[in-house]
Amino acid sequence: MSENSERWINWDELKGLSDDQIEEKAKKILSIMTLEEKLYQMSGDWTLAEGGPKMQKRYNAEPIPAGEDKKLGIPGVLFSDGPRGVVIGSSTCFPVSMARGASWDLELEEKIGDVIGIEAKVHGANYFGGVCINLLRHPAWGRAQETYGEDTYHLGAFGVALLKGVQKHIMACAKHYACNSIENTRFEVDVSIDERTLREVYLPHFKQCVDAGVASIMNAYNKVNGKYCGHNPHLLRDILKKDWNFKGFVITDFAWGIRNGALALNAGVDIEMPFEWRMAPNKMIGYMNEGRFTEELIDEGVLRILRQKLKFAHKEDPKFYSMDKIACKEHTELALEAARKSIVLLKNKNSILPLNRNEIKQIAIFGALANTPNVGDHGSSRVYPPYVITPLEGIKNIVGNAINIIFNEGEDLEVAKELANNSDVSIIIAGYTHLDEGEGSGTRDRTGDRKSLRLYENDEKLILAVASVNENCIVVLEGGGPIIVEPWKNKVSAILMSWYPGMEGGTALGEILFGDINPSAKLPAVFPKSDDQLPYFDRTTTQIEYGYYHGYKLMDKEGYEPAFPFGFGLSYTTFSYDDLRIDKHTINSDGEIQVSIDVSNTGSMTGEEVVQMYVGYKKPSVDRPVKDLKGFTKVLLTPGEMKTLNLKLRAEDLAYYDVDKKEWVIEKIEYIIYVGPSSRKEDLLTTTFNVS
């Protein structure tokens, strides 16, 4: 390579360039690069011998580089993982994505993305690999906590909100593309899926992120219809790059994301991470000399990489990104707000909550998790916050010296019963930890995917024992996804789902228990009564078929009654829904309807309500769900206050994928609009319209 000055790239000139100027600049850079320089852009900078020990010592302790070219002055992709915060160093730890999905608060999620982008850049990263939008097909999936829920519309909306925040600062990556929702056999499982189910159920959330300008997509480990995702041209080239016109680059999941560099490049992979391995330049030159691909295919991939590097080379004033931003007060207060808005009140018999400080002398708190920092999986998503407020600490901080707090792990049931019997209120913290669900290995014979959706037997026995002697029994659940509560649900007075609530989770829990904060969260995934209400799941399988139905849509289709429906969550106040109306009753195939409803706070406490809009289909020519989520919004109301909420529905949102025509079709039929506080039929007001 010549080192004359015309080949050096001045990245300081990039600020403020338009997309067309970026494209021109990227093509100019590409034109002066040698084949070896191009190929060096397409793999991680570490060798396996160099990077392996680093990753084993502590995963992502520093940004993981790919494609840095010091001679040309091209920066590398500097990878930081997520999604509950920045994995590098010590960072703000937010509630897990499933918890944030329960907030139904897109403005909050974009703020979280903004903080993550800032902290990642402070730590030296320019790329965030934490926009995890895999669909929760079954709650046993070990990495359920890393995604937002079971519904494709909801998933896409949250993915877009997060990436918008992150991409104010650095590149974002949406993952794992596609059909990735079994952990234990993720490297080899082959998912059989028909084209309509793929396009309508498992891909729309990725398309939402592509349409929003996500810089990168990460391919999944698993196979789809016989081909590894990283070797799958139908997923990567036909759909992602051609049908969706994706302008960013495709990056592999780490180490086993591809098995062969030639197959990967032909399929549409642009960067292998994290090592220089199967797409190492010497291997790729050998493949090209064998006629496996042409240099034009390399150019296409490198142009995508350069395009994004140019676009994100300069963002805001570098002085803004200082170490004092890491877990600063503003950021930890946002983590607290997220926890407050993520904890779901599932049961509140006789309005036992909020607790009245003036009427309680002693509270007994049971369960080892009450005194355990429990912020989620210890796999690739692990964040190292400077502190974690446990439930016990949070409750003690709220009550101070006004109430006597007794803590007992609950191992001896007779002792627990005696303490509960002598206390005004009993609170049990039960659920899971990183040892029970998550990525990779654990203990307790529950590695990766969960074996059971129930609590451990000793937790269930503790709940029943305490509830038998104290009617004021409150259960707080921790975990990454839905938990079956049927064996004890009717024995306790209140149930709260706190998920893995982040570094300030204990504070938020204490505030909610005593009414300083009114809970507003709603479930992003249905809580079943039993396993037979769910799709087939086998964590050891290497072959599985993914059908069209799961979650609340499967419940609707089969007429199942869940323990708690999708979109459900209680408040300390009450809301009424009135006067559902639409601005037109007939639209054409490119039309739009405005849906309006009056929502009132009919209780005595200020609260937030999540208003949900679903659509149903009358006499469709193909099988359709009873109803699909198509919109939601959140409103804050004081006691007695009423507001009119407006939601938009586009005709294109009603389309199904016609496999024979290979196109999206909007049927000219009658449609039903449902609006209400949850997906439960009796909660919803309805009206109809037609597409002509």
Q: Taking the domains of the chain in order of start, what are their residue ranges?
A: 21-323, 339-558, 575-691
**How many helices (H) and strands (E) in the chain?**
18, 26
User: What are 584-635's pLDDT values in tens digits?
Assistant: 999 999 999 999 999 999 999 999 999 999 999 999 999 999 999 999 999 9
Token readout for 680 is 């439960």
The answer to pTM > 0.95 is: yes
**Separation CA 653–CA 152 (nearest Å):** 12
* Cβ atoms 379, 438 nearer than 8 A: yes
- For 567: left if phi > 0, alpha if psi spans -120 to 50, otherwise beta; the answer is left
Helix, strand and coil in the chain, % to nearest 5 = 35, 20, 45
Rounded CA-CA distance 351/297 in Å is: 64
Q: What is the pLDDT of residues 526-572, one digit of tens each?
A: 999 999 999 999 999 999 999 999 999 999 999 999 999 999 999 99
**Rounded to an integer, what distance in angstroms lies between the CA atom of residue 230 and that of residue 422?**
60
DSSP-based three-state secondary structure for 527: strand
pLDDT of residue 553: 98
Task: Give the relative orientation of helices 505-513 and 391-399 as an angle to the nearest 10 degrees.
Answer: 50
Instruction: Compute the CA torsion angle 365, 368, 373, 379 (nearest 10 deg).
Output: -140
Q: Name the residue among 287, 175, 182, 307 with its Cα closest to residue 230.
A: 175
Which CATH number applies to 575-691: 3.60.10.10, 2.60.40.10, 3.90.950.10, 3.30.1280.10? Answer: 2.60.40.10
Of the residues 151, 190, 253, 628, which is catalytic?
253
Coil, helix or strand at residue 381:
coil
Q: CATH number of the domain at 21-323, out of 3.40.640.10, 3.40.50.2000, 3.40.630.10, 3.20.20.300?
A: 3.20.20.300
Query: What span, in angstroms and rounded, lies between the C-alpha atoms of 153 and 277?
Result: 37
> What pLDDT is stored for residue 317 in this prediction?
74
Establish whether 253 is a catalytic residue. yes
Paired with 543 in beta bridges are 190
229 backbone dihedrals φ, ψ, rounded to 5°:
-55, -35
The single residue listed with the structure tokens 């009717």 is 490
Token pair for 202: 């498992």
Token output for 60:
């992502």
3-state secondary structure of 425: strand
Instruction: Name, in order, each residue with C-beta under 8 angstroms of 513's C-beta and a sequence gap of 6 or more.
Output: 353, 354, 355, 395, 398, 427, 474, 496
pLDDT averaged over every residue in the chain:
95
In angstroms, rounded to a whole number, what is the distance separating the alpha carbons of residues 558 and 554?
A: 6
> Is CATH 1.10.760.10 correct for 339-558?
no
Which ranges of the chain have pLDDT less than 70? 1-12, 314-316, 441-447
Burial of 602 (0-12, 13-18, 19+ CB in 10 A): middle
Bridge partner residues of 348 (DSSP)? 494
Q: Which two tokens stand for residue 24?
A: 């021109």
**DSSP alpha helix (H) spans, 493-638:** 505-513, 551-558
pLDDT of residue 269: 98
